[in-house]
Amino acid sequence: MASSSEIGLAAGLNILTAFAFLVAFAILRIQPLNDRVYFPKWYLKGLRNDPLQSGAFVQKFVNLDFRSYLRFLNWMPAALHMPEPELIDHAGLDSVVYLRIYLTGLKIFVPIACLAFTVMVPVNWTNRTLEQSELTFSDIDKLSISNIPTGSNRFWTHLVMAYTFTFWTCYILKREYEIIASMRLHFIASEQRRPDQFTVLVRNVPPDPDETVNELVEHFFLVNHPDHYLSHQVVYDANSLSELVNEKKTMQNWLDYYQLKYYRNNQSKRPTMRTGYLGLCGKRVDAIDHYQSEIDKLSKEICKEREKITKSSKYVMPAAFVSFKTRWGAAVCAQTEQSRNPTIWLTEWAPEPRDVYWDNLAIPFVSLTIRRLIIAVAFFFLTFFFMIPIAFVQSLANIDGIVKAAPFMKGVLEVEFVKSVIQGVLPGIALKIFLIILPSILMMMSKFEGFTSISTLERRSATRYYIFQFINVFLGSIITGTAFQQLNNFIHQSANEIPVTIGASIPMKATFFITYIMVDGWAGVAGEILRIKPLIFYHLKNFFLVKTDKDREEAMNPGSLSFNTGEPQIQLYFLLGLVYAAVTPILLPFIVVFFGLAYVVYRHQIINVYHQQYESAGAFWPDVHGRIITALIVSQLLLMGLLSTKEAAQSTPLLIVLPVLTIWFHRFCKGRYEPAFVRYPLQEAMMKDTLERAREPCLNVKNYLENAYAHPVFNNECKWDGSDDGIVSDDEWPKEPALVATKRSNSRTNTPARSQRSESTRTLLCVTDERSCP
């Protein structure tokens, strides 16, 4: 157990590190050279221009205005300055709701910390248990529950505090849930027209011997939603096409580069290149002509491939995006069951077009349930047995192994210093690498499980990451030993012993977790704002790879709030805070500082850096809420276990009421607020429909939706103008009808035969539309 001076030293060191990061950031961010690293969001929005374009040469790269160095911390108030509604406009609701997680942390822990310091610290401090015992102890332990003698009546304080903390946390949680639910509803209500409001994703279209998927979908919805069905878009298996398009994109980029080079040289000398491997060998040809012809060739191939895909039915997957005339129609279809066989014609809200994970759209129902089983088992083994392969790798990667594999290194490796460094570092490396790639492994698992949108994939990965962290970081640190050893222990322990075992070792680990919060939390957040990795990569790319403006855009790599790794990290702090609130309150200020710092830093990053890949309108909040509730229950159970070792027998049973009430509170919130996050009320839909009809009576929804859910590689014509790269970037999908004034004939004309009924219905529909609009 570290003494308070050691903790003070660690705190000082970490504060210094964090401060150094912040100062470094403050200096780096005002250098014009780094402008694109620290303000990429404004570039993407087109609101900021390269400072490289004007001014003296040195000023292009280094900021020489010394007054600006004096105001080096002014980004902090600036970050806090933007009001929430503007922030929603600027960065989307997801980001704002994400920030509210930190804010919730502050709201929960600031009052709890104050209360704990005024009430519990004096109660703990004014005992002499530890001093009278023969144990070694530190000042920190004197502030904790350990300092209270066994069987003391003072434990009533902790009991009352546990109740207070629970009620306060629940109150804040309920209020936040309420606010975020109404923010979400307001956001959805005030949103502009979006294709996903009108569209439903239909999966598991049953095979039919007589009709193609295209016809089948059309007929099914014409029959079952006759007044609301508008159109649909079948899903194609376009992976091969996607590859061709990517290849063409590279070619296009090279062409741009050579053209730029040619114009820069005042069109004096046409650039040449070699056609062989990596441009190092082969015949020397005119580069512009070469790439032009390559692109033409690829364009033709793409057209052929595309035609093949759209013509042949074997590329059609049994899934479709079905669009409706009104939001009401879509809301109805998404929320109801279509067929008497509940495993076919599965409908769900279509994700935003940019949020769709195309590869998973065609997985049949039975396969889905089997995949879920496989992943559940795999995740169990990953969580509890991940140490086995790592230990195996570690046993291979020792000095002897290296000497055997590379005898020439023998001399170097036998130097004592090198040997000790390697032996110290190597075992950790395998684990470190594993922990770095863990989120990707979890993401792959989610992808294999068959979710159809990126947002769901991230949410599911976050859940798994949280469980992994809970077991391997939280429990793993408290009860040292691998997760499997713990599992084995738990199986062999009685249900009431488990909280006792963990609870009893909780106070002893406080100093460890304080250090963890400072290293992982404080320094981590300060490191986040510095963006070291993107900074280095941007400059490397800028020097070696950037050929065109497009390349520079791409080199910026603004990144995004990665919910699947970020949120579980925050949840760990909630867990620590709630568990230690009634045990070792000295931990709370560290948590509060973390939440405060993280809030400011992430607010800055969201305003200036991150560019979200999708907008789920805060759909992840139920998960966040559920995990804080879990943390609350865990803290109550552990306190119960701890108190029972302290022979505070008369107060322990009263604690049983708390988890029951908390679970009930969770169920209440689930019933009260969760539907706002998973369903779309018809009242809202009707309201928006009516408003829209009044505002734009002549709106042609069909045109608007026509290509919204085409696979990205289909989203352009076969006539290339040289600037279109075939991939629709995040912002390019149509937001207003005017943007999609495409004249392409209806994709449905590709289907061989159409029933008379559907034809006539649609004609009738058009007539009605036209008649009502003069």
What is the rounded distance in angstroms from the CA atom of residue 204 to the CA atom of residue 220? 13
Residue 101 identity: I
Q: What is the DSSP letter of 356?
A: B
Looking at 140, 159, 322, 331, which residue binds a second copy (CB under 8 A)? Answer: 331
- Of residues 660 through 699, those in contact with a second copy by CB under 8 A are 660, 664, 667-668, 671-676, 679-684, 686
Give per-residue burial for 225-255: e unless 16+ CB within 10 Å, then b. beebbbbbbbbbbbeebbebbebbbebbbbb
Shortest separation between residue 345's beta carbon and a second copy, angstroms: 8
**CA–CA gap between residue 619 and residue 616 (Å, rounded):** 5
**CA–CA gap between residue 363 and residue 212 (Å, rounded):** 18
Is 313 a binding residue for a second copy by CB under 8 A? The answer is no
- Choices 27-35, 44-52, 113-121, 494-502 (CB under 8 A): range interacting with a second copy: 494-502
Of the two residues 49 and 369, which places its CB atom closer to a second copy in the complex?
Answer: 369
Q: List binders of a second copy among 738-757 (CB under 8 A).
A: none
Binding residues for a second copy restricted to 214-233, rule: CB under 8 A: 220, 223-225, 227
Question: Apex CA 85: angle with CA 82 and CA 87, to 5°?
Answer: 50
737 binds a second copy (CB under 8 A): no
Which listed residue (70, 278, 495, 741) binds a second copy by CB under 8 A?
A: 495
Q: Assign residue 55 a region (left: φ > 0; alpha: ψ between -120 and 50; beta: otherwise).
A: left
Q: How far is the CB of 179 from a second copy (least distance, A)?
A: 14
- Residues 203 and 135: beta-carbon distance below 8 Å: no
Is the CB of 61 or the CB of 664 nearer to a second copy? 664
Choosing from 357, 365, 448, 484, the residue that interacts with a second copy (CB under 8 A) is 365
Q: Contact between 729 and a second copy (CB under 8 A)?
A: no
* Residue 688: CB minimum distance to a second copy, A: 12
336, 746, 755, 772: which one contacts a second copy (CB under 8 A)?
A: 336
Tokens of 519: 């290293």
Q: Which is nearer to a second copy, 223 or 433 (CB)?
A: 223
653 near a second copy, judged by CB under 8 A = no
User: Site residues for a second copy, window 162-191 (CB under 8 A)?
Assistant: 185
Q: Where are the beta strands (DSSP E) in 570-701?
A: none
Say whether residue 335 binds a second copy (CB under 8 A): yes
Q: Provide, rounded to whole angstroms, the least separation between the CB of residue 236 and a second copy.
A: 26
* Binds a second copy (CB under 8 A): choice among 338, 501, 747, 751: 338
Q: Which is nearer to a second copy, 59 or 768 (CB)?
A: 768
Pairing of strands 284-286, 346-349: unpaired
Tell the smallest beta-carbon distance from residue 205 to a second copy (Å).
13
* Comparison of 109 and 221: residue with beta carbon closer to a second copy: 221
| Closer residue to a second copy (CB): 223 or 409 | 223
CB contact set of 292 (below 8 Å; sequence gap of 6+): 255
State which of residues 139, 247, 497, 553 lies at the interface with a second copy (CB under 8 A): 497
Nearer to a second copy, 293 or 768 (CB): 768
Length of the chain: 774
Residue 67 or 492 with smaller CB distance to a second copy: 492
Question: Measured from the CB atom, is 240 or 369 closer to a second copy?
Answer: 369
How far is it, in rounded angstroms, from Cα 146 to Cα 130? 8
Burial class of residue 465 (count of CB atoms within 10 Å of its CB; 0-12, 13-18, 19+): buried
The H-or-E segment that residue 645 falls in is helix 621-645
Q: Which of 4, 164, 212, 343 lies at the binding interface for a second copy (CB under 8 A)?
A: 343
Give the C-alpha distances (Å, rounded to integers) separating 289 from 255, 266, 272, 292.
9, 18, 9, 5
Is 337 near a second copy (CB under 8 A)?
yes
- The residue range among 326-334, 412-420, 433-441, 464-472 that interacts with a second copy, by the rule CB under 8 A, is 326-334
Question: What distance, in Å, lies between the first and last C-alpha atoms of the chain?
Answer: 82
Task: Give the SS3 label for residue 146.
Answer: helix
d(CA 280, CA 412): 37
**Core vs surface per residue 590-611: b (16+ CB within 10 A) or e:** bbbbbbbbbbbbbbbbbbbbbb
CA distances from 740 to 92, 562, 706, 707, 743 (A): 23, 31, 8, 8, 9
CB atoms < 10 A from the CB of 170, how many? 20
Window 393 to 422, contacts with a second copy (CB under 8 A): none
Full strand arrangement of the beta sheet holding 346-349:
229-236, 316-324, 199-203, 346-349
| Smallest distance, a second copy to C-beta of residue 351, A | 19
- Binding string, 610-639, against a second copy, x = CB under 8 A? ------------------------------
* Nearer to a second copy among residue 122 and residue 342 (C-beta): 342
> Look-up: residue for tokens 């530190």?
138
**Nearest distance, CB of residue 668 and a second copy, angstroms:** 5
**Does residue number 491 form part of the binding site for a second copy (CB under 8 A)?**
yes
Least distance CB 194 / a second copy (angstroms): 18
Q: What is the DSSP letter of 751?
A: S
Question: Does 118 interact with a second copy (rule: CB under 8 A)?
Answer: no
In the set 283, 492, 695, 719, which binds a second copy (CB under 8 A)? 492
How many residues form the binding site for a second copy (CB under 8 A)? 50
* Closest distance of CB 691 from a second copy, Å: 13
Q: Which residues, 584 to 613, sit near a second copy by CB under 8 A?
A: none
| Residue 475 binds to a second copy (criterion: CB under 8 A) | no
Q: Which residues of 77-87 are buried (b: 16+ CB within 10 A; e: fewer)?
A: eebeebeeeeb
768 lies in the binding site for a second copy (CB under 8 A): no
What is the footprint of a second copy within residues 47-86 (CB under 8 A)?
none
Helix (H) or strand (E) run with residue 319 in it: strand 316-324
Task: Using CB under 8 A, list all residues that contact a second copy.
Answer: 185, 220, 223-225, 227, 328, 331-332, 335-340, 342-343, 345, 365-366, 369, 372-373, 376-377, 490-497, 660, 664, 667-668, 671-676, 679-684, 686
